[in-house]
């Protein structure tokens, strides 16, 4: 996979390189939801209702941050998918 990404970066024509990068980013964005769901499902299986691995053990085993494991049980995504903060506008 890294070789394919490296090949995109080596496209000599700037416009073609940017087009290729955009296609790769769009394709990955489509996969993120499914991949995140699979990760979250496995985290829950490994935790096994509290009778399985600890959050830290799950994080170590999957090579992810403990905060990512915790986020699954809080019903939130990782830090990169947090909802935006709604800001109030001042009327003056």
Q: Is the pLDDT of residue 51 over 60?
A: yes
Q: Is the pLDDT of residue 54 over 70?
A: yes
Please state the rounded mean pLDDT for residues 32-57. Answer: 95
Q: Where are the alpha helices (DSSP H) in 1-92?
A: 2-9, 14-47, 55-62, 66-74
Longest dimension (CA), the chain: 55
Q: Give yes or no for a contact between 9 and 17, defined as CB atoms under 8 angstroms apart.
A: yes
Q: What is the pLDDT of residue 90?
A: 65
Residues in the chain: 92
Q: Angle at the Cα of 16 (from 13 to 21), degrees rounded to 5? A: 120
Q: What is the pLDDT of residue 89?
A: 62
* Domain ranges across the chain: 2-76
Q: Look at the pTM and tell me if it is higher than 0.85.
A: no
Q: How far apart are CA 55 and CA 68, in angstroms?
A: 9
Q: Is the pLDDT of residue 1 over 90?
A: no
Percent of the chain, pLDDT > 90? 75
């Amino acid at each position: 996979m890294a070789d394919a990404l490296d090949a995109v970066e080596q496209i000599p024509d700037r416009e073609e390189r940017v087009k290729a990068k955009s296609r790769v980013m769009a394709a990955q964005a489509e996969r993120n939801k499914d991949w995140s769901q699979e990760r979250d499902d496995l985290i829950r299986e490994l935790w096994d209702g509290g009778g399985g691995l600890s959050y830290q053990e799950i994080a170590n085993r999957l090579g992810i941050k403990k905060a990512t494991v915790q986020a699954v049980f809080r019903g939130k995504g990782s830090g990169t998918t947090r909802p935006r903060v709604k800001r109030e506008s001042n009327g003056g």
